[in-house]
A and B are shown apart, each in its own frame.
Chain A
Amino acid sequence: MKRIYLDHNATTPVHPEVKAAMLPYYEDLFGNASSVHSYGREAREAIDVAREQVAELIGASSPTEIIFTSGGTESDNHAIKGTALSKADKKGNHIIISPIEHHAVENTCEYLEKRGFEVTHLQVDKYGIIDLQNLEDAIKDTTILISVMHANNEVGTIQPLAEVGKIAKERGILLHTDAVQSVGKIPLNVDELGVDLLSLSAHKIYGPKGIGALYIRKGTRIDSLLHGGHHERNRRAGTENVPGIVGLGKASEIAKKEMEANREHLWSLTEKLRAGIQEEIEFVRQNGHPEQRLPNTLNFSFEFVEGEALILSLDMQGICVSTGSACTSGSLEPSHVLAAIGLPPEIAHGSVRISLGRDNTEEEINYVLETLPSVVNRLRAMSPLYADRMKKRKEGKL
């Protein structure tokens, strides 16, 4: 059976050109970038090129502002813990985050909270957008860091980050953004956004897993998490993952080059899908902002059905998507993002995230639109909630 992959916010396939660029660094060019000899120089040069490619993608003024990490989670940890630790001897101990952050930010802040830091969670509206006045009000003399993700991984909503940047700058507070989902998908410039720290990851942009980067604006005080050798200008010890770094660099270069074409392609496919779903299926609601969203991301709640049952059923039809339902995790509580945008738990349990990628076609979207209604109907036919609702409708109560 043909499989249709619609879970690109989870991960993406490695771009063939990225893979081709990486392979020599597993073979002939295997050197350690710290070595003085020619093998080392070849590796060092490759890292330098990649650093420029990443800097170019996000508009960093110098490649020295980029450090390579093991991925988005490490970048988030480094940005937040590194900032917190660098201020530990000062009066500042207050961090402000949005309530829809990735767990890499959320749980890092929770960790710091247990160690004496104070964390404020902002509010978001029904689309997941933060309230700037709420942010201004949350700032204290002790605030050392604001961390607001650029675009949300689950619902795709894009934050007014440039406005946050202005506020942070006026108040002299560092701004970090987890831009793992937005980098490479939408235009992004660290100066225009006014961010001091930015996390990104390769495997969301057709690069390899296990490699990412943290942008650190020149002059930003931040402690290191990993201590050891003098790698990454003493900011991140450990022998560089050269093939991974080369892959991230190449993926960044391609993302920049293909961004406009991909955006248009993805927007038109997602709009077709959105319109089709809303036309074909009853009791469905779109989660996240309908316009201020990533071009590839849609999130829907299908009422009266549970998300895991829905994605399992779709998987049997070759369609691969994900859910914010609790039933895919051990927690039994639905996604904190869906809770933060005010979805009642029973609606959140029926959520499905559909995230497209550059290789998806209109034909695939047509197949989804042909398949999805019957999958939803099958589950609704055995749902007591749906039966109750239909009974009420029949009785003319609704």
Chain B
Amino acid sequence: MKSEFQSQYSTKVMEHFMNPQNVGQIEDPSGVGDVGNPTCGDIMRLFIKVEDGVITDAKFMTFGCGAAIATSSMVTEMVKGKTVEEALEISNRTVTEALGGLPKVKMHCSVLSEQALKSAINDYYERQDKPSPVNIPEDEHEQCDLYDSDEEE
């Protein structure tokens, strides 16, 4: 895959970085995902609004690098209009692909976007006292390295 050899941001990444979609907060969210930590240099806060099982709105706030902002923007674009179950299919790989790839050292940002989304959906289930089908690996980001850079895709 292209991204393995990429060292620069794709045009798509730069577009989403310079004109990020869905920046902001949802006043009355159905779920919020808050992942990352400032020590590692990136935090994503993702808000979703769910109506009749469909994600009708998604917004984000991100402290992080260009890739972190671009993946946040992309993941919020991707979830809108999807059912919660469909949204759970979104992975760091699909976000990365939609962005035309990411430099290898930036892959952890895409993992963070997946985590933010899953965490928001998890929160949605919890707010309704429903058992959550979401499995979020805990505290992995504490080590500031979610992506094993030796691992080839």
Contacts and interface: CB of A to CB of B under 8 A. Distances in A.
A330 B107 CA distance: 10
B66 A332 contact: no
A309 B66 contact: yes
A332 B65 CA distance: 11
A332 B64 contact: no
A346 B41 contact: yes
Contacts of A383: 61-63
B91 to A, nearest CB: 21
Contact of B144 (A333, A384, A385): A333
B63 A305 contact: yes
B132 interface: no
Contact of A327 (B14, B20, B64, B104): B64
Nearest to A316: B18
A385 B41 contact: no
Contact of B61 (A312, A316, A334, A382): A382
A302 B112 CA distance: 23
B42 interface: yes
Contact of B65 (A309, A345, A346, A384): A309
Contacts of A76: none
A349 interface: yes
A306 B106 CA distance: 14
Contact of A384 (B41, B63, B67): B63
B34 A332 contact: no
Contact of A387 (B25, B42, B105, B144): B25
B55 to A, nearest CB: 20
B43 A325 contact: no
A68 interface: no
B63 A306 contact: yes
B45 A384 contact: yes
Contacts of A313: 18
A304 interface: yes
Interface in A225-281: none
A308 interface: yes
Interface string B1-41: 00000000100001001101001110000000010001111
A138 interface: no
A326 interface: yes
B61 A306 contact: no
Contact of B38 (A307, A333, A385): A385
A88 interface: no
B56 interface: no
A327 B38 contact: no
Interface in B54-78: 60-69
B43 A384 contact: yes
A22 B38 CA distance: 49
Given A329-B105, A330-B105, A387-B25, A382 B69 contact: yes
A334 B14 CA distance: 23
A381 B62 contact: no
B20 A382 contact: yes
Contacts of B60: 382
A127 to B, nearest CB: 23
B61 A346 contact: no
Nearest to B44: A384
A308 B25 contact: no
A299 B65 CA distance: 18
B41 A327 contact: yes
Contacts of B63: 304-306, 383-386
B46 to A, nearest CB: 10
A345 B39 contact: yes
B108 interface: yes
Contacts of B18: 313, 316
A380 to B, nearest CB: 9
Given A334-B41, A346-B38, A346-B41, A381 B145 contact: no
A309 B41 CA distance: 11
A312 B23 contact: no
29 contacts: A309-B17, A309-B65, A309-B68, A309-B69, A316-B18, A325-B41, A326-B40, A326-B41, A327-B41, A327-B42, A327-B65, A327-B68, A327-B106, A329-B105, A330-B104, A332-B40, A332-B108, A332-B145, A333-B144, A345-B38, A346-B39, A349-B38, A349-B41, A381-B23, A382-B20, A382-B62, A384-B43, A384-B44, A384-B63
7 smallest CB-CB distances across A and B, nearest first, come from A346-B38, A327-B65, A308-B65, A349-B41, A330-B105, A384-B61, A384-B45
Given A332-B41, A345-B39, A384-B45, 5 more contacts: A305-B63, A307-B65, A326-B41, A332-B40, A382-B61
